Amino acid sequence: MRINIHAGHNPDGMTACGAMGLIRESTEARSVKDKVVEQLTAMGHTVHDCTCNNGTSQQDVLKRIVAACNAHEVDLDVSIHFNAAANPVPDGQTTGTEVLVYNNASGAVPWAQQIADSISALGYRNRGVKERPGLYVLKHTKAPALLVECCFVDDPEDIAIYNADRMAAAIVAGITGQAAETTADAARLASMSREEFVEYIGRLAAVDMQTSGILASITAAQSILESGYGKSELALNALNLGGMKAELSGNTWASAWDGRTYIKDTAEQREDGSYYTVTAAFRAYPSVAAYLADHSAYLAGARAGNNLRYAGVVGGRNYRRAFEIIKAGGYATSKDYVNNLCNVVERWNLTRYDGAVQAPDGSLWANIAGLSYTWTDASSFGQMLAQRGMQTVLRRVMVLE
């Protein structure tokens, strides 16, 4: 998207600097605006900051903002404000949030409703979307425009739950149509260096290994290679780090995926080494954690006829062998897939994340109370449960003599 964002009014201490109460409108609107700009930019959107910081009067501020907005061809203009004139006496309820549009025929109305709903989910009363044809910015900007009244500066209940980071994430969620958790994870991926992403995904994969039985090095390597260190289009827009398509093995495994998809072109490789492009529907996730859970459930439970498609990956201790199983099962078409994944493991020493589970050595392991197994038996039992949508944790059993 192409978006204009601006905070209302002049900076604090100047003429036309906005409402003041328990917090200052001008200061907080700029804080929220900066975070919104940062998050949307990190997600790949084109964002123009049209805030005025040097107006000579209220009318001059408004004219400068409109001029800055109209200098860009955008899909949406967003003005960030805070409301005032609430009951200053605590009454146990918020006065709330509202989003203003020129009229109900404005193209900004769908975004306005999403933003109001998203902010109200933080705990604010939802005052809804309201028509304000007399507001200068809404009347004179050429793109669809909306004005967010985040909350009331003089309501103690509003201010008690106000947080600039959460408010910005809610506004971004409303603009993009994604959950706040989704936008936060996407912004996190976009801002990470390669080293930071490896550490981030390695730790998450180590946690996942405790329930899935799949080596963290396997999960991390696939995420790194498939997502380009978290920077691929699919990673940033769908939090899909492993190229998980909507239709995989007939969707025969137990999965918590909610059915949302992201459509994009993708390159596939033929047996002769040549490439061709197809348009495919990929799974979209609300968070990186949700992707990891679905990815592991797929490797554990997907079937090819009556057999597990990736039998041997769960509980396996050799990452190269696991990658060979994954490639043979049809996860990827690239002829160099196995070697590329092994190179990622070795370059970043990803086996360091596998240390949470020791190599099988004859010890007893358990995954439900009262039952003990060898590593192989415990892993097989966990794999069987995974096919039925149940997750288990493998733990070494201490034998008391």
pLDDT tens, residue by residue, 76-115: 999 999 999 998 888 889 999 999 999 999 999 999 999 9
pLDDT of 392? 52
pTM, rounded to two decimals:
0.56
Rg (CA), the chain: 26
User: How long, in residues, is the chain?
Assistant: 401
pLDDT of 383? 54
Burial of 157 (0-12, 13-18, 19+ CB in 10 A): buried
Residue 95's contacts (CB-CB under 8 Å, 6 or more residues apart) are 83, 86, 87, 125, 127, 151, 152, 155, 157, 158
pLDDT of 334? 86
Show the low-confidence residues of the chain (pLDDT under 70). Answer: 180-181, 249-252, 267-269, 273, 356-401
CA 258 to centroid of chain Cα atoms: 14
Alpha-carbon distance of 142 to 64, in angstroms, equals 14
pLDDT of 10? 96
Alpha-carbon distance of 21 to 88, in angstroms, equals 9
Nearest to 222 by CA among 10, 232, 145: 232
Contact present, 150 and 115 (Cβ < 8 Å): no
Helices (H) then strands (E): counts for the chain: 14, 13
Other CB atoms within 10 A of residue 277 CB: 9
User: Which tokens sit at 253?
Assistant: 């495994």
DSSP string, 174-215: HHHTS-HHHHHHHHHHHH--HHHHHHHHHHHHHHHHHHH---
Alpha-carbon distance of 347 to 215, in angstroms, equals 17
How far is it between the farthest Cα atoms of the chain?
Answer: 85
Residue 339's contacts (CB-CB under 8 Å, 6 or more residues apart) are none
pLDDT of 24? 96
| Residue 85 zone, left/alpha/beta (φ > 0; ψ -120 to 50; rest) | left
